[in-house]
Structure 1
Amino acid sequence: MTLYSIAMSWNDTDLEESPIPRWSQIADRLRTDIESGSFKPGDVLPGEAEINKRFGVSRSTSRAALDYLETEGLIKRRSGVGSIVIEPRVERPLNQISSFSEDMRRRGLTPGYRTRSVKVVSASAAIALELQLQPGDDVVEIDRTMLADGTPLATSITYLRPQLFKKSGIPTIEELDSGSLYERLRRDDIVFAGGDERIEAAMADTMTARILNVRQPAVVLICHRTSWMPDRQPVEYVVLHYLAERYSFHVKLIKA
Structure 2
Amino acid sequence: MVEHTSPDRPGRTALKRQEIAAELRAEIVAGRYGNGALLPGENELAQRFGVSRGTIRRALGALADEDLIDTQTGVGSFVTFDGQPLGAEPSWGHAFAVLGAPVQAEIVRAQLVVDPELAASVSSAGMEFLALDRVRRLADGTPVSLERSRVPAVGRIADVPLDGLVGNSLTATMAEAGLTSARGEQWIAVAPLEPADAELLGRRPDDAFLHAVRISYTADGRFAEKVTSWLDPKRFRLHTKFGAAR
Aligned to 1:129: 120
State the one-letter code of the partner of 1:146: R
Distance 1:181 1:157, change over 3 A: same
Alpha-carbon distance between aligned partners in 2 of 1:130 and 1:254, rounded to the nearest angstrom: 33
Matched, 1:139 2:124: no
SS in 2 for 1:112: strand
Aligned to 1:158: 149
State the one-letter code of the partner of 1:239: T
TM-score, normalised via structure 1 length:
0.53
Cα displacement string for residues 92-122 of structure 1 (whole angstroms, at most 9, x for unaligned residues): xxxx814433442354332211112211212
Q: How much has 1:184 moved relative to structure 2?
A: 2.5
Query: Given that residues 130 and 226 in structure 1 are in contact (C-alpha distance below 8 angstroms), is that contact kept between their aligned partners in structure 2?
Result: no
TM-score, normalised via structure 2 length:
0.54
Alpha-carbon distance between aligned partners in 1 of 2:97 and 2:234, rounded to the nearest angstrom: 20
Distance 1:213 1:119, change over 3 A: same
Query: Given that residues 131 and 237 in structure 1 are in contact (C-alpha distance below 8 angstroms), is that contact kept between their aligned partners in structure 2?
Result: no
Task: Give % identity.
Answer: 19
Alpha-carbon distance between aligned partners in 1 of 2:103 and 2:213, rounded to the nearest angstrom: 21
Aligned to 2:109: 117
Aligned to 1:196: 185
Alpha-carbon distance between aligned partners in 2 of 1:250 and 1:100, rounded to the nearest angstrom: 12
RMSD (Å), alpha carbons: 2.8
Q: How much has 1:181 moved relative to structure 2?
A: 1.0
Cα displacement string for residues 118-162 of structure 1 (whole angstroms, at most 9, x for unaligned residues): 11212142x12343137x922221122122334211111111111
Larger radius of gyration: 1
SS in 1 for 2:164: helix
Q: How much has 1:168 moved relative to structure 2?
A: 6.5
Distance 1:176 1:122, change over 3 A: same
Aligned counterparts, 1:75-86, within 5 A: none
Alpha-carbon distance between aligned partners in 1 of 2:138 and 2:116, rounded to the nearest angstrom: 31
Aligned to 1:249: 238
Distance 1:236 1:250, change over 3 A: same
Between stretches 220-229 and 101-110, larger displacement belongs to 101-110
Structure 2: gaps spanning 5 or more residues: 1-87
Distance 1:140 1:239, change over 3 A: same
